[in-house]
Structure 1
Amino acid sequence: MHFASFADFLAMGGYAFYVWLSFAITLASLVGIVMTTRLKRRQLLGELRRKEAREARRQAAQSMENTL
């Protein structure tokens, strides 16, 4: 499709509202997916660090118990 001017491009042949709305919804969805993925990753890594620290404390306590 060829447009005579930038204004015609923005108007999208009279369907600008639907076209730009679909672009906005798609962009918002993609941004939302990226943000939730990063948040979930951060939460999972924090949980993993806490579990590893807990296991290390448990093993240290168990080795102390064995020395008594």
Structure 2
Amino acid sequence: MGDYPEGPGDVRRALFALSLVLGAYALTVAVGDYDASHTEALLVCAVAYTAHVLWRNVRRQSASRAA
């Protein structure tokens, strides 16, 4: 059970972009500019958080392999 191989650059960029887009959407809902159900807001926040965590993990793995 070794480390996962380094994610390609496009995977890192896609995960980062997804976390930014969904984070911005969640912020828009939180500020009140857009009415969303509680379930919709919760799901978008959860996916944004998951995308950000995955991006950080892929980034950390690529940094450790470079060292």
Q: Normalization by structure 2: what TM-score?
A: 0.46
The higher radius of gyration belongs to 1
Larger RCO: Structure 1 or Structure 2 (Cα < 8 Å, ≥ 6 residues apart)?
2
Looking at secondary structure, tell me which structure has more helix per residue: 1
TM-score (norm 1): 0.46
